[in-house]
Amino acid sequence: MPFQLYTVNHLTHAISQVARAADLVQTHTSEWRDTPGVHSLVSLVTCNRVEIYVSAEPQIRLVPLDGTDLNWNYLEGREVAEHLFRVASGLDSMVVGEAEIAGQVRRAFTAALDQGTIKGLMIKMFEGALATSRRVATHTELTGLGRSVVSVALDLAARDLPLTVHEVPPANPAATHTSPLDVVDENPTGVPSWQGLKALLVGTGAYAGTAVAQLRARGVRDIANIQTSRRVVSFAQIHRTRVVEPEDTVAALQEADLVLACRGLGSPVLSADQVAAATPNRRRPLVILDLALHADVDPRVHQLSGVKMWNLEDIRAHVPALAISQIQRANELIEEGLADYDAAVAARHMDPVIVRLRALFEAAACEEIAALPPGETVAREDAERAIWHVVKKLAHTPTVSAHMAAESGLGSQWVDALATVWGLTPEVLEDAFSG
């Protein structure tokens, strides 16, 4: 069954177009799954890509490829597997090597399995892509070199945050002698500390969990979460964050140094009026990172004084480049994974032949069983006779084809083919025939 892929992603589209594509997926997924001729469907929606993986009859097209201003990218056949393997391994991400994408692919795959919307070779394709992503993470430094979108955003935010600097002690604090050749650093380097910052979070999904983990890793201990749904309470218990009631949003904004929004389920959560009411007379700007696909922060906040705001489009221009050697090694591992997948595809193409062969064997056995004498027990000679009849029937067609091959001068090819089917070496067969 031919594979199809419809995708709108950051490489070829604006983030606003990705958001509109995500709306279409949410609206039409049930309709697409019920389309006659569609056998498998997996939807992958992240902050910077929307992808629909489909196994369907060749004539089916779920999404118009032209006539709309979205202009979905379309792939089919093996190119779909190549794309998925690169995506799962982090080579097609906004930040190459990001760690989150493998988890997002895995969740999309698991959801399709739970819903029963993925079958056959598409399961093999996703399993192969995820296995390859693990190999890339293990055998390259790609994940370490490539930082997530959240990490890049926090690095940008650090420029405007009130971070304290902890000086790094010298390698040998006891040393007092200074050589004339020593160079004195008038600006000793230090480690910026995020420990005293207050962060305000919007969102409770996997993206929000990643944001909390990144903030904790940098030393932030005071993290509050605006209650936008009932899930906030359970999220706060799991991630040890404080819950802020909606009516206390302005007060929470006044106290916060950093706002990280990654909910993106509809209209903005933070209005321009709320942010304006919270930012007069601030000594340092309120830093806001809106990482949601659908903006969580009113875009007018960009124009407010006392605010430094970054959204996904802003962050995309600051993603880091990676070492070429690591990308090359990742590509090699992807090619190895695709080779294994190709072998699985080739094996599955033999299924109809194997099914037919088994059916012939079963039919021969059933015919002899039906001819056995009635009763609960069968005499040994009757059982032997039935078994030999089955053997003769199964051997009849290969025997005739062997004679025909020999008469046509194709005897050696027939021997090679039989050796492949039955797992015997040509030498063994030749010895048997010569005896």
Q: What is the pTM of this model?
A: 0.66
In a domain, 338, yes or no: no
Q: Indicate whether 256 pLDDT > 60.
A: yes
HEC string for 317-342? CCCCCCCHHHHHHHHHHHHHHHHHHH
Instruction: Please tell me whether 208 is known to bind a ligand.
Output: yes
pLDDT at residue 384 in the model: 82
pLDDT at residue 175 in the model: 45
Cβ-Cβ contacts under 8 Å for 225 (sequence gap 6 or more): 200, 201, 202, 203, 204, 208, 232, 235, 236, 241, 242, 243, 244
Question: Is the domain of 158 the same as that of 306?
Answer: yes
**Pick from 42-46, 197-201, 351-355, 371-375: least confident:** 351-355
Instruction: Please tell me whether 104 is known to bind a ligand.
Output: yes
Question: Is the domain of 242 the same as that of 274?
Answer: yes
Condensed to tens digits (0 to 9), the pLDDT of residues 165-182 reads 655 555 554 444 443 333
pLDDT at residue 433 in the model: 55
Domain region containing 129: 3-139
Which domain-ending residue is among 104, 139, 174? 139
As given in the structure block, the two tokens for residue 362 are 């079963």
Contact 130, 87 (CB under 8 A): no
Question: Is the domain of 362 the same as that of 249?
Answer: no
Decide if 47 is catalytic.
Answer: yes
In a domain, 366, yes or no: yes
pLDDT at residue 398 in the model: 76
In a domain, 392, yes or no: yes
Question: Is the domain of 370 the same as that of 425?
Answer: yes
In a domain, 371, yes or no: yes
Cα–chain center distance at 4? 17
Instruction: Please tell me whether 264 is known to bind a ligand.
Output: no
Residue 164 banded pLDDT, cuts 50, 70, 90 = confident
CA distance 224 to 241: 5
Question: Is the domain of 23 the same as that of 63?
Answer: yes
Question: Is the domain of 406 the same as that of 259?
Answer: no
Q: Which among 22, 38, 42, 47 is annotated as catalytic?
A: 47
**Pick from 95-99, 124-128, 336-340: least confident:** 95-99
Q: In the β-sheet with 38-45, what is the strand arrangement from edge to edge?
A: 38-45, 49-56, 3-9, 73-76
pLDDT at residue 4 in the model: 95
Q: Indicate whether 147 pLDDT > 60.
A: yes
In a domain, 403, yes or no: yes
**CATH number for 306:** 3.40.50.720
Q: Report the relative pairing of strands 222-226 and 198-202 from DSSP bridges.
A: parallel
pLDDT at residue 425 in the model: 63
Question: Is the domain of 303 the same as that of 229?
Answer: yes
Condensed to tens digits (0 to 9), the pLDDT of residues 184-217 reads 333 345 567 898 899 999 998 878 888 999 999 9
Condensed to tens digits (0 to 9), the pLDDT of residues 110-134 reads 999 999 999 989 999 999 999 999 9
Q: How big is the chain by its Cα radius of gyration, in Å?
A: 32
Length of the chain: 435
Instruction: Please tell me whether 190 is known to bind a ligand.
Output: no
Question: Is the domain of 158 the same as that of 284?
Answer: yes
Q: Indicate whether 432 pLDDT > 80.
A: no
Residue of 374 and 87 predicted with greater confidence: 87
Question: Is the domain of 119 the same as that of 217?
Answer: no
Question: Is the domain of 212 the same as that of 262?
Answer: yes
pLDDT at residue 167 in the model: 55
Give the residue-averaged pLDDT of 303-329. 83
Which domain-ending residue is among 297, 319, 341? 319
In a domain, 218, yes or no: yes
Q: Indicate whether 411 pLDDT > 90.
A: no
pLDDT at residue 240 in the model: 93
Helices (H), ranges, 158-292 = 206-217, 231-239, 249-255, 272-278
Cα–chain center distance at 43? 11
In a domain, 381, yes or no: yes
pLDDT at residue 323 in the model: 66
Instruction: Please tell me whether 100 is known to bind a ligand.
Output: yes
As given in the structure block, the two tokens for residue 117 are 């919307």
- The share of the chain scoring above pLDDT 90, in percent, equals 44
Distances (CA, A) of 370 to 3, 356, 365, 392, 417: 44, 21, 9, 17, 33
CA distance 270 to 301: 9
Condensed to tens digits (0 to 9), the pLDDT of residues 28-84 reads 999 999 999 999 999 999 988 999 999 999 889 898 766 567 889 999 999 999 999
Which domain-ending residue is among 319, 337, 364? 319
Residue 400 banded pLDDT, cuts 50, 70, 90 = confident
**CATH number for 23:** 3.30.460.30
Question: Is the domain of 114 the same as that of 11?
Answer: yes
Tell me the HSE value of 288 on the side-chain side, using a 13 A CA sphere: 31
Residue of 365 and 108 predicted with greater confidence: 108
Distance separating the N- and C-terminal Cα atoms of the chain: 48
pLDDT at residue 179 in the model: 38
Give the residue-averaged pLDDT of 396-412. 77
- Indicate the number of domains in the chain: 3
In a domain, 331, yes or no: no
> What is the four-CA torsion angle of 409, 412, 415, 416, rounded to 10 degrees?
-130
**Highest mean predicted confidence (pLDDT) among 140-154, 223-237, 345-359:** 223-237
Phi and psi, residue 277, nearest 5°: -70, -20
Over the chain, what is the mean pLDDT?
83
Question: Is the domain of 56 the same as that of 124?
Answer: yes
Instruction: Please tell me whether 98 is known to bind a ligand.
Output: yes
Contact 55, 122 (CB under 8 A): yes
Residue 136 banded pLDDT, cuts 50, 70, 90 = very high
Give the residue-averaged pLDDT of 17-27. 90
| Phi-psi label, residue 226: left if phi above 0, alpha if psi -120 to 50, beta otherwise | beta
Residue 277 banded pLDDT, cuts 50, 70, 90 = very high
